[in-house]
Amino acid sequence: MFRSRLGTALRTAMLAVMASVLWMGCSDGADDEYAVGASPDSGAVPVAVPELSDAARLGAELFAANCSECHGPTAGGSSQGPPLVDKIYEPGHHADFSFHRAVNQGSPQHHWNFGDMAPVPGLSPAEVDQAICYVRELQYANGIFTDPAGLAVCQA
């Protein structure tokens, strides 16, 4: 009887510890180690726009037509969506395929408190790559990442 109660109490305590660890790992981004500069309320951060490559200029047009309503005209975020020029979205944390998946399937809320992202219909994979190139050039110019390998999508 004592052993049974001890085992149950131990299992309960272990489950509580595991649940709290999982809960702490599910951050809204406000205090996430990757979140920099953005207010969780507004999402907006200042973005310096560099001279863009031809691919990124085409991507800027696609971004303006399909993404800027939520992510801002220079991917600095808005009250509707998070800034993509943020360490959270650097290539080592959110690879290019993450952007493709978000465009094609949408994305559940994570890191930020803006709600779920709906899919963005009507863009070809090549067009998504151009929009990613625009975001990557903005990120690179704003010091989000420093390895030019992160601009590989712009060379495709």
CATH number of the domain encompassing residue 107: 1.10.760.10
Q: Is 110 exposed, middle or buried (0-12, 13-18, 19+ CB in 10 A)?
A: middle
In the block, residue with structure tokens 């953005």:
38
**Confidence at residue 88, expressed as pLDDT on a 0 to 100 scale:** 93
Assigned domain for 7 exists: no
In a domain? residue 85? yes
Residue 110 pLDDT: 83
Asked if residue 9 is part of any domain, the answer here is no
Write out the two tokens for 153.
Answer: 């999508």
Average pLDDT by stretches of 10, the chain with 156 residues: 50 40 34 41 80 97 96 94 94 95 94 91 97 98 96 92
Number of domains in the chain: 1
> Is residue 2 in a domain?
no
Q: What is the pLDDT of residue 56?
A: 97
Q: Residue 35 domain-assigned?
A: yes
pLDDT of residue 17: 35
SS3 114: coil
How far apart are the C-alpha atoms of 140 and 147, rounded to whole Å? 8
Q: Which domain holds residue 100?
A: 27-155
The answer to whether residue 22 sits within a structural domain is no
Report the pLDDT value the prediction gives residue 113, as an integer from 0 to 100: 87
Q: What is the pLDDT, as a whole number, of residue 35?
A: 40
Q: Which pLDDT value is given to residue 13?
A: 42
Q: Is residue 18 part of a domain?
A: no
Q: Token pair for residue 82?
A: 């998070």
- Report yes or no on 73 lying in a domain: yes
Look at the alpha carbons of 87, 80, 42, 127 in this order and tell me if their dihedral is positive or negative.
positive
- How much is the pLDDT for 1? 52
